[in-house]
Amino acid sequence: MRVKLLTTISIFTYQLSISQSEKLLNGKVLSQNVPLNKVEVINKTAKTSTRTNEFGEFSILVRPKDSLLFFSKDYFFKRLKISQQNIDQNNIVVNMVLKPEELDEVLITKIEFPKVSAADENSTVIPKPAISNPGIYTGGITNGVDLLAIFSLFMKKDKKAKNKSKKHELTFKQLVSATVPLDFFSNDLKLNPEEKELFIDFCDADPNSQFILKQKNLLYTLDFLHTKNQEFKKLNSGIKN
């Protein structure tokens, strides 16, 4: 009887250890039934990541209760908490929603042409004077275009393009707002809503934030925010004391 009990306990312990070990989870990322390529799949709990292939397929090691993040710049952020059922099924399908396209700025210029009234029977039509000697160049271009106007137009377009590129330069705050889930600050960093903006300003003041901005990697961003949160908490506690 004792041997049977020990055997049962051993089997149960073995099964429990197996269930708690990492398992390879396979899945597919779609948008309107179209496979998505190069979607970043991040196991935030284990701090590992992978990417989908051209068929939208991915494989990543997970445990129950791990948090998976799915990120692509043209799609809304997706978060999934892994359950034992997901692992047993081993064939999850994640649907991502395409972000609405942002239309470029359109400049409409009003062009007014001089009004030309219809000629009546009493009107006098003055013929265009003929060139006395067509062999002599007068410095003009017959039916030519206004080169100065075209040059001015190109200069305006170039200036507008430069201003637009500066206007659309991504800042660290915009990167955090666009990629980091809203509940990350409250659930993971344990920050109050009134502390969030102050914390992001605190992170933005760090020169390393510019390196994070250039990388545009969600895993790097989350690690950076975790590190800065420890400094922020110490600073806050020092101010309160």
Q: What is the pLDDT of residue 128?
A: 52
DSSP state of 136: S
Q: What is the pLDDT along the chain (241 residues), one digit of tens a residue?
A: 554 544 555 545 545 554 468 899 999 999 989 999 999 999 999 999 999 999 999 999 999 999 999 998 889 888 999 999 999 999 899 999 988 764 445 455 555 555 655 555 555 555 555 555 555 555 555 555 555 565 566 566 666 655 555 555 788 988 888 888 888 898 889 888 888 889 899 999 898 889 988 888 888 898 899 899 988 888 877 665 5
How far is residue 70 from each of residues 32, 184, 226, measured CA to CA in Å?
16, 14, 19
Does CATH number 3.40.50.12160 belong to domain 23-95? no
Residue type at 181 in one-letter notation = P
Structure tokens at 198: 């102050």
Q: How many CA atoms lie within 13 A of 97 on its CB side?
A: 6
Q: What is the reported pTM? A: 0.46
The dihedral region occupied by 4, where left means phi > 0, alpha psi between -120 and 50, and beta the remainder, is alpha
Q: State the Cα–Cα distance between residues 212 and 171, nearest whole angstrom.
A: 10
Q: Where are the domains of the chain?
A: 23-95, 172-240
196, 226 contact by CB (below 8 A) = no
Angle between helices 172-179 and 208-215 (to 10 degrees): 50
29, 41 contact by CB (below 8 A) = yes
